[in-house]
Amino acid sequence: MAELQLKSHRFRAEREADWRRLERLLAKAEGGGPARLARDELLEMPLLYRQALSSLSVARAISLDRSLVDYLESLCARAYFLIYGARTRPLERVARFFRRDWPQAAKGLWRETLIAVGLTALGTLVAYVLTARDPDWFYAFVPRGVAEGRDPTASAAFLRATLYAQPNEQQGLHLLATFLFTHNSQVALFGFALGFAFGVPTAALMLVNGGMLGAFLAVFAARGLGPQAFGWLMIHGTTELFAICLAGAAGFSIGRAVAFPGERSRVDAAQVAGRRAATVMAGVVVMLFVAGLLEGFARQLVQADAARYAIAAGMLALWLAYLYAPRRTP
């Protein structure tokens, strides 16, 4: 026992100065972040960390006293998380999401996004043509409760009034924005969640969502209000439809991973795809919130058709530039 204590004392005496040095640097960095460390201190810390790991390995191998082993384990754990761990504040994580994570994830799903956009456009075109030829097709694409009188039986005066009506109370605008935000979120979440079934339900949802748009446009176009209705819808639609297509793309990516996992198992492939898809979905929620504000407020407050088209085009250009413009990788 005396020999073991002597061995432990010598072991500690030879190396303790380096341990204490590492402990002081850790305390300094933990108190105010790595930015408080000088350049030489930053370069010194990994070396001290490796020395502490070596000391811990030796201490365990020769069965030194338990208190010394516990001290070295704690010291090495602190150093590991400071050197290799992701030590970011909540605001820094949010900033990194908007600056890098979301755009990178969206770029990675550009093929799936084009598919979702194509299916939505196809549904819009088919519903428009069918409803224009036979107005009864309208009810196959749009439930009666959703139409709220904007159906083939409505007069041109009534439809025009819905495009340019001034809301009497601000509270009504708030309620409308809340309802539409909830509805749009549900559509997007279903498009994402149903992707695991090889993307087939997601594709159907994209077609149905486009069909509702095409049927509405056909009704207004039949009364000579097609361009006005399109501007009224697109003031928020460029953001809303883009968000739903991104959600569909996230669902397609999971469905593709399940159907074609490659060398991974289906579960592992779905997990990898799911992480990127989840990042895109977090951005989709932001876009739907913006769309809800535009739909509940700007669409009623902005009455000029030219201004509506300008807002629609501006929002689309903004999202495309933000998500797909080349940027330096930090």
Digit-coded pLDDT (tens) for 202-242: 999 999 989 989 999 999 999 999 999 999 889 989 999 99
Q: What angle do CA 288, 292, 293 make, to 5 degrees?
A: 120
**pTM of the model as a whole:** 0.72
pLDDT at 222: 95
DSSP 253-317: HHHHHHH--TTS-HHHHHHHHHHHHHHHHHHHHHHHHHHHHIIIIIHHH---HHHHHHHHHHHHH
What is the pLDDT at residue 329?
53
Select the highest-mean-pLDDT range: 84-98, 118-132, 250-264.
118-132
Q: Which of 168-182, 255-269, 289-303 has the lowest mean pLDDT?
A: 168-182
The secondary structure of residue 62, as a DSSP letter, is T
Average of pLDDT values for 91-109?
Answer: 90
Q: Is the pLDDT of residue 324 over 80?
A: yes
Predicted local confidence at residue 140, as pLDDT: 92
Question: What is the C-alpha separation between 28 and 60, in angstroms, rounded?
Answer: 28
Q: End-to-end CA distance of the chain, in Å?
A: 55
- Nearest alpha carbon to residue 173 among 228, 181, 234, 240: 181
User: Does residue 101 sit in helix, strand or coil?
Assistant: helix
The 10s digit of each residue's pLDDT in 234-245 is 998 999 999 999
- Please report the pLDDT score of residue 287 as a whole number: 94
Please spell the DSSP secondary structure of 118-159, one letter per residue. HHHHHHHHHHHHHHHH-GGGHHHHS-HHHHTT-STTS-HHHH
Nearest to 254, CA basis, from 209, 175, 195 = 195
Cα separation, 213 vs 224, in Å, equals: 17
pLDDT of residue 170: 44
Residue 189: the pLDDT is: 86
DSSP string, 228-243: HHHHHHHHHHHHHHHH
Q: Given a cut of 60, is residue 87 above it in pLDDT? A: no
Structure tokens at 295: 């739909």
* Per-residue pLDDT band at 178 (split at 50, 70, 90): low
Residue range 105-129: mean pLDDT, rounded: 96
Closest CA to 245 of 214, 205, 275: 205
Residue 86 has pLDDT above 60, yes or no: no
Average pLDDT, the chain: 85
Cα distance between residue 38 and residue 257, in whole Å: 46
pLDDT of residue 142: 86
Q: Residues near 39 by Cβ (< 8 Å), separated by ≥ 6?
A: none
Cα dihedral value 125, 127, 130, 133, nearest 10: -80
DSSP reduced 3-state for 80: helix
**pLDDT above 90 as % of the chain:** 41
Residues 91-98 have a mean pLDDT of 86
Q: How many CB atoms lie within 10 A of CB 16?
A: 13
